Chains A and B, each alone.
Chain A
Amino acid sequence: SQQGEEDPQALSIQEGENATMNCSYKTSINNLQWYRQNSGRGLVHLILIRSNEREKHSGRLRVTLDTSKKSSSLLITASRAADTASYFCAPFGNYGQNFVFGPGTRLSVLP
């Protein structure tokens, strides 16, 4: 199993601004998933992007994947206070991998 490394560790923005966070990984993947964790609660799945996709949208979320650079980014547009949470990426390679999570990006959206 491989772990993604999120960057930055912490991000603070004003409500209405866009938030971008990045994920890097080491070996080739089949897909990469992003999760959100609100304070002290369980992780919630946000979006999955396959290795043959370059960009995917879901509401205010936009995920990109660059397999040549082994990186992904998550963009949240028009941030709201409710987007305050930690965000984790989980890259998946071969069959048999576990869900492994890095330290995450802690996003604070200030009103």
Chain B
Amino acid sequence: NAGVTQTPKFQVLKTGQSMTLQCAQDMNHEYMSWYRQDPGMGLRLIHYSVGAGITDQGEVPNGYNVSRSTTEDFPLRLLSAAPSQTSVYFCASSFYPGTGVSEAFFGQGTRLTVV
């Protein structure tokens, strides 16, 4: 049971490049989400999904796209990287949080630097 797996762990991009951060979970969780964490800050929600085919925006969605074609995978796409997107990105999954008894499981993060 691997939990939540994020790849890559580290990435350096040039301004304007695009890339996809991968996230996969093997716990059959309906809910998946992406956060970014800047130095000394909490986590800010980028996008989330409550099931395959359903996605929605979080607090800071601009510059990012997501899709959810399967229950297991929730990739995050940076369309045209900017230095302001330098951050650590975390993917999380859970059973639907609205049930009130679900804990979130987090990946180990992707450290992204845009130069």
Contact = CB atoms under 8 A, between A and B. Distances in A.
B108 interface: yes
Contacts, number: 62
Nearest to A31: B100
B71 interface: no
Interface in A53-111: 88, 90, 92, 94-104
Interface residues of B, number: 26
The main secondary structure of chain A at its interface with chain B is loop
Contact of B97 (A35, A88, A98): A98
Complex A-B, nearest 4 residue pairs according to Cβ-Cβ distance, in ascending order: A42-B106, A95-B98, A45-B103, A30-B100
7 contacts: A40-B109, A42-B4, A42-B90, A42-B92, A43-B106, A92-B97, A98-B45
Interface of B: 4, 33, 35, 41-43, 45, 48, 58, 88, 90, 92, 94, 97-101, 103-109, 111
Interface of A: 30-31, 33, 35, 40-45, 48, 50, 88, 90, 92, 94-104
